[in-house]
Amino acid sequence: MKKITILGATGTIGINTLDVIKLYKNDFEVTALTANKNIERLEKLCQEWQPKYAVMADTDAAEQLEQRLKNLPIEVLSGVEGLTKVASLTEVDMVMAGIVGGAGLIPTLAAAQAGKRVLLANKEALVMSGQLFIDAIRQNNAELLPIDSEHNAIFQCLPNSEQAGIQKQGVNKILLTASGGPFRTFSIDQLQNVTPAQACKHPNWSMGQKISVDSATMMNKGLEVIEACWLFNSQPKDIEVVLHPQSIIHSLVEYVDGSLLAQLGNPDMRTPIAYALGWPNRIKSGVKRLSLIDVARLDFEAMDFKRFPCLQLAYDAMQVGGTSTVILNAANEIAVQAFLQEKLKFIEIPKVIETTLSRLTSKDADSLDIILKADTEARQLATELVA
């Protein structure tokens, strides 16, 4: 029986993880479930799964949840301390890191430091802490398995998971596929007045608001480029983004002999989740089988960096290194939130990020304190820019 903590249990990743686990209730035990403020949904999950711990990131929400669960033998915790505790519990074997944004960094890092199998759906943990996170995985004999469909695909297509560097594995480059989001065919003029509702309506995937907007701006793909650099010990120049509107090929690996290996499947997060839960074995996911006959065609297009400047900003930040990627991520989160609140235009999101990057100096990201300080400074400046 493998015991699991699910960070971000009420989000898309958490719900899909529980959906897969339902198929294997004799093999997995849910030890802890966490959420930010969604009391009602976490209460229902706690009643269904009976975890030992429930954590609300918001303290007030935790107090309300505790009252609702007072007749159940569930310990309710709160805040970063509660999240960190359940991510590093001795009895837990694996941690699904599904918290969106920078808020997931500290508990995800705690899971790595505790030597857990980390199922990484929170790309910001690597975007922000990079080498610090990879070192924690290595030094504590933890396992790192990517959940993003693109990185999971690359992981499946590489010969092994060693951090030797892709060239030593005969790899020429990594190709990250991108659907292009809801605005793939929009001109720059058409992007001037797009709404949050439009941006959140992804054509292929069911995701939360923040990641949906990131997909629309292509920042999500930029963060994935940074994540891929750390996961697969590669450089930005080794990674090419290719538009693939059907989202059937999740990513590819090109080898020096001219071979291209790709992982295909329906756009359903249960596939990479099941792969990581069962690794090194494969288990059923409950996903509908892919029919190539029904798909009929697979299209590819070159990336337009002028229409989607967020992707270039991510490449540049990773090239600079240090806390540049921390600043990039923080400014993006503030700008996206402002857009969702209709305080900022869609086309102004990259402008806020670029200005924040230009005004703050990158430093070596060799400690958590430095990373968190850079994150705070970037959020403060970005908040001033969107005011």
pLDDT band at 194 (very low <50, low <70, confident <90, very high): very high
Max Cα separation, the chain? 63
pTM of the model: 0.93
Query: Distance between CA 80 and CA 326 in Å, rounded?
Result: 19
336, pLDDT greater than 60: yes
CA 346 remoteness from chain centre: 21
pLDDT of residue 206: 65
The 10s digit of each residue's pLDDT in 376-386 is: 999 999 999 99
The answer to whether 133 touches 230, Cβ cutoff 8 Å, is yes
The answer to whether 312 touches 318, Cβ cutoff 8 Å, is no
Q: What is the mean pLDDT of residues 30-46?
A: 97
pLDDT band at 163 (very low <50, low <70, confident <90, very high): low
91, pLDDT greater than 80: yes
Percent of the chain whose predicted confidence (pLDDT) is above 70: 98
pLDDT band at 103 (very low <50, low <70, confident <90, very high): confident
Domains and CATH numbers, the chain: 2-146 (3.40.50.720), 164-266+290-386 (1.10.1740.10)
The 10s digit of each residue's pLDDT in 256-301 is: 999 999 999 999 999 999 999 999 999 999 999 999 999 999 999 9
Q: How many CB atoms lie within 10 A of CB 185?
A: 10
Q: What is the DSSP string of 156-173?
A: HHSS---SS-GGGGTEEE
Tell the residue number behind the tokens 């001219």, with chain if given.
258
> Residues 6 or more apart from 280 whose CB is under 8 A from it?
none
pLDDT of residue 205: 67
pLDDT of residue 368: 93
